[in-house]
Chain A
């Protein structure tokens, strides 16, 4: 098993996802939980892009020199994960903004961001 760029990226993405998950479970500050979610998001994006990488190939963009319209299928990498991640990043921004707005509302009502102070649903 030789080490290649995509394996490094795969392991990095997995470790970032685990750190994000751990932070989301153990922190009590709402902003910290949302920050952990965004780390998880970044890790997942790195993982998906790494799955589409083929060693020794380049980006799927025709520039006329290295990649031309004829040798695109043997010179370029898989474009589908890139198209997926492109939209996933924008949606991730929207979701983060929505969560932050709800955190702001919680802070206005309860005067605290610590989830241990939200005692309404505890028994």
Chain B
């Protein structure tokens, strides 16, 4: 009975999707919005990567909201997992291979993450990808040495400071340029240089630090939770 209702719902959804598929035809030219972005990005924003220009400048407010959602997720996670108490790791039974490999890989991963988000306006990549790579490096650190406790205060401080400066740069755009999060508060420079595209490298670095610390604190919070049952 329960299964048949589920299959009926899936079939209804599939019928809806097949209808979309019948209406779909491959486009040959860009639509109006995409044409605007593709035509005007080099002159208006000065970034070689159009996706970065949309994420950081044209739709900058949405990105601010998105980073805020991730911040709220990390906060709620810390709150609901705090009741379980800390898990005590008393002995370090990590293998020697993992510890040695981690010591070699962690600095390289962090440098790669920083490289990815600083070059976000020139090559594929940016704050979200670089932040995820930094989060992976912190995860490897936790795996290699479970006895080390991550200093959450430091993570939260880096996160708050980068969020604060992100909003501050946005407000500076409101004062000195066209609007909130406008990147033309700094000179645009020549297309393709590392220091070009106005404030985009700065904003994307702050986003990268924020996303990296948020992902690290999510992983550290879940990893450190003990299983003490709280009596309700």
Interfacial residues, chain A to chain B (CB-CB below 8 A): 4, 6-7, 10-11, 14, 17-18, 21-22, 25-26, 51-52, 54-55, 59-64, 69, 72-73, 76-80, 82-83, 86-87, 89-91, 93-95, 97-98, 100-102, 104-105, 108-109
Q: What band does the interface of chain B fall in when counting residues whose beta carbon is under 8 Å from A?
A: 35 or more
Contact B31 A78 (CB under 8 A): yes
B residues 15-53 with Cβ under 8 Å of A? 17, 21, 24, 26-31, 33-35, 37-39, 41-43, 48-51
Interface hit among B103-111, B142-150, B164-172, B224-232: B224-232
Q: Is the CB of B128 within 8 A of A54?
A: no
Pick the most buried of B10, B29, B39, B218: most chain A CB atoms within 10 A of its CB: B10
B interface list, Cβ under 8 A from A: 2-3, 5-7, 9-10, 13-14, 17, 21, 24, 26-31, 33-35, 37-39, 41-43, 48-51, 54-55, 59, 62-63, 66, 69-70, 73-74, 76-77, 80-81, 83-84, 123-124, 126, 128, 132, 191-192, 211, 215, 218, 222, 225, 227-230, 232
CB contacts between A and B, total, < 8 Å: 142
| A63 cross-chain contacts in B, Cβ below 8 A | 48
Cα A10 to Cα B7 in complex, Å, equals 22
> Are B28 and A26 in contact, CB atoms less than 8 angstroms apart?
no
Residues in B neighbouring A10, C-beta threshold 8 A: 21, 24
Instruction: Report Cα–Cα, A87/B67, bound state, in Å.
Output: 9
Q: Which 3 A-B pairs have the closest CB atoms?
A: A25-B6, A94-B73, A69-B42
